Amino acid sequence: MVNEDRDFTGELNFSASRSSGPGGQHVNKVSTKMELRFHVASSELLTDAEKELISEKLASRINGAGELILVSQSERSQLQNKEKVTEKFYTLLTRALTPRKKRKPTRPSKASKEERLEVKRQQSEKKSHRKKPDQPPGL
């Protein structure tokens, strides 16, 4: 689990570029899009087990060089996008390193079984009423 006392800022690489999409002249001349790169394998703050977990769970966000890449371009200011992408990074790390709860298998209750069977009986009856009545032979 990522603790608040671990500060990854020294291991994060930020780069700014122009955002895509609508925005007119502002978007065309200001570099507000922030890209965060974090090299998982060379991190000194993560244990080997944590590195493996992150590489496994966030594989779709890690490139061939082993860098976790996150992008934020929703805000109009570079600083706000930097804060947003950093927050996203910590959230992803926390989620990846939090162990999943083990599922306790349960069985359906007696009432739920009876209710399911009752619904099935009603459905069967409804469909049986749709049939044409049997005609006596010889008519």
Q: Enumerate residues 6+ apart whose C-beta is below 8 A from 65.
A: 39
pLDDT of residue 84: 93
Where does the pLDDT of residue 106 fall: very low under 50, low under 70, confident under 90, or very high at 90 and above?
very high
Where does the pLDDT of residue 115 fall: very low under 50, low under 70, confident under 90, or very high at 90 and above?
very high
pLDDT tens, 35-90?
Answer: 999 988 888 888 888 888 888 888 888 888 888 889 998 888 889 999 999 999 99
- Residue 111 pLDDT > 90, yes or no? yes
43 and 13 in contact (C-beta within 8 Å)?
A: no
With CA atoms as reference, report the closest residue to 9 among 35, 32, 36, 31: 36
Q: Enumerate residues 6+ apart whose C-beta is below 8 A from 115.
A: none
Domain residue spans of the chain = 9-97
Give CA–CA dist 5/46, Å, rounded: 13
pTM of the complete model: 0.66
- CA atoms 93, 54, 3, 8: torsion sign: negative
Which segment, 15-24, 27-36, 47-56, 101-110, is predicted with the most confidence on average?
101-110
**63 versus 8: which is more confidently predicted?**
63
Q: Does domain 9-97 have CATH number 3.40.50.970?
A: no
